[in-house]
Amino acid sequence: MADSPARRTRTGRMADTQTTPYLVLARKYRPRDFSTLVGQDAMVQTLGNAFAQNRIHHAFILTGVRGVGKTTTARILARAFNYEDETGRHPTLELETEGAHCRAIIEGRHVDVVEMDAASNTGIGDIREIIDSVKYGPVSAPYKVYVIDEVHMLSTAAFNGLLKTLEEPPPYVKFIFATTEIRKVPVTILSRCQRFDLRRIPADVMSAYLEKILGQEGIGFEPDALAMIVRAGEGSARDSLSLLDQAIAHGNGSVSTATVKAMLGLGDRARIIDLFEDLMGGRIAEALVALKELYDLGADPQTLLADLAEFTHLVTRIKVVPAAADDASLTPDERTRGADLAQRLPMRALTRAWQILFKGNEETGRAGNALQAAEMTLIRLAYAADLPSPDDVISKLTQQGSLPSGGGSAPPAPRGPSGGASAMRVEAMQTSPSPAPVAAPSPALPASRPQAVAQPALATVASYKDLIGLAAAKRDVLVKLALESQMRPVSFEQGRIEVALSDGADPGIIATLSARLQTWTGQRWLVMVSTKAPEGLTIRQENEQRKEAATAAAHDDPLVKAILETFPGAKLVNVTVRDDEAAPAELAPPPIEEDDE
């Protein structure tokens, strides 16, 4: 007994066999020729010139991110190779009119166009089938075309088995490879193919493409909603069309900003910007409350930190390149509020925020409790947002006369979100002209000291320090270290040196030094070891003593004291002493490097 319509429906069959199944937009509007392929003008021009000059290669490799048209381009090329009309067989890129073999190639059922997925056919056995079939000519089309998708998935043996055939195929065979991982393809394969890098489709081109499709479908849309879809598609035509399909279904036949925000989860984009403003303004309590609310709504803490870092990058980019705010893929909030924040925030606050968020993202990924790690990252960022640079503090203390005249120290400035000025409130400090730094002239090198840039054939040594400088210029580390830490000069004259060796010094260094001097100066030197007990300090010990004295003197400096009290936990790590004769009297004190913890 025949099944009733209701029974056919229950058994999974279609109740109405005349109903045409829905074809998704990515397939319905898949380009059939190069005139409808979007965003790949450079490749189309190159192929057009090659076909016009009849310089058609036998192997092509197409690479690019997902959804930019690699497989589509391969099928269009297969049509171009095998184009045949009433005038005969002739390869061409003018494919607006379908040829004798075009429909079968488009539908993937032509016997002479073989498509293989290398992800599921990776072995040498699969390639051996291709090698065996290459021996036989095409059945009906002018060329036999092999399209291998995701070719980087082939095994090493499969690649090696393909080399000979790929280099010298029969004249009726064409190979087209497609891959998203071009670096995994052996160079021996790449050298046998013409390579085309398919680019991401620009946002303006993608927007125009989607607008055209929506017009053909008769579906209304809002430009801001389309911009969100284009941005989420990341330059991929297939991804953008899939999102557009979803947005049409979500909006019940229209594409609106509200529905796209809800579909993509961009409704929280404005809240991310609010959270960023709270952090940069030092409002840590409000920021933690906002983080908890987003977490309760299902947001992942690590994703929230990544979104904050992404918005930090956007604001920084707008600050450097103001035209970046006109990007069609930006949401209205990102465009307007991002440009406003770029004007208000100093560059040091943005770069510091990026570093803290980048490190905090890694810590959150490793933490046992992601929410706690994210909260600590936001607290760190809020407290660091109003941290001025050491140059600003020194300039402010100097200009405002905050330094005591009698060796006392300035009171520490309040710190943190509750007491210090936020990064956005220090705009006045940023816009006020700061005094131009005075560049100190570099001290002149002694005339007798050899230069490492251009050494004469034979050097001249006039003092023990010149000898150390010569060893450094010759890159002789062994001799230089011995002169500085194992020897003490007793007497020095031309051709004769007397030194005292330290305890534990290698006696063989004397012969080594004598040989080096003869090579460097072209004359014989007598290097003697003093019989007297070594007195005084070595060159290295003298340098260390001077450095300790300079560090102690720097700690007593009123300006340094004020800085150390302004930055709790800071410490001096290096003190550079200028040459008194080279440094002008009107210059500021020597620069002090600080380690801000």
pLDDT at 402 over 70: no
Nearest 5 degrees, angle CA 422-CA 424-CA 425?
Answer: 65
pLDDT at 62: 92
What DSSP string describes 524-551? --EEEE-SSPP-S--HHHHHHHHHHHHH
pLDDT at 420 over 50: no
Q: According to the 3-state scheme, what is the secondary structure of 467-505? A: HHHHHHHCCCHHHHHHHHHHEEEEEEECCEEEEEECCCC
Q: Taking residues 282-298, what's their average pLDDT? A: 87
pTM exceeding the 0.75 threshold for the entire prediction: no
How are beta strands 88-89 and 84-85 bridged, if at all? antiparallel
Q: Taking residues 79-107, what's their average pLDDT? A: 88
User: Which of the four pLDDT bands, split at 50, 70 and 90, describes residue 418?
Assistant: very low
Kindly state the percentage of the chain with pLDDT values over 70. Answer: 80
Q: Do the beta carbons of residue 223 and residue 208 sit within 8 Å?
A: no
pLDDT at 578: 64
**266 is written with which tokens?**
């961009």
pLDDT at 376: 93
Mean pLDDT for the chain overall: 79
pLDDT at 588 over 50: no
pLDDT at 572 over 70: yes
Q: Taking residues 527-536, what's their average pLDDT? A: 75
User: Which of the four pLDDT bands, split at 50, 70 and 90, describes residue 532?
Assistant: confident
Q: Taking residues 288-298, what's their average pLDDT? A: 86
- Phi and psi torsions of 494, nearest 5°: -60, 120
Q: How many CA atoms lie within 13 A of 13 on its CB side?
A: 11
pLDDT at 333 over 50: yes
pLDDT at 3 over 80: no
pLDDT at 452: 44
The whole-angstrom separation of Cα 377 and Cα 456 is 57
Closest CA to 37 of 66, 75, 63: 75
Helix ranges (H only) for 197-346 are 203-217, 223-233, 237-250, 257-264, 269-280, 284-296, 301-320, 332-344
pLDDT tens digit sequence for 296-321:
877 888 888 988 999 999 999 999 98
Q: Taking residues 91-102, what's their average pLDDT? A: 87
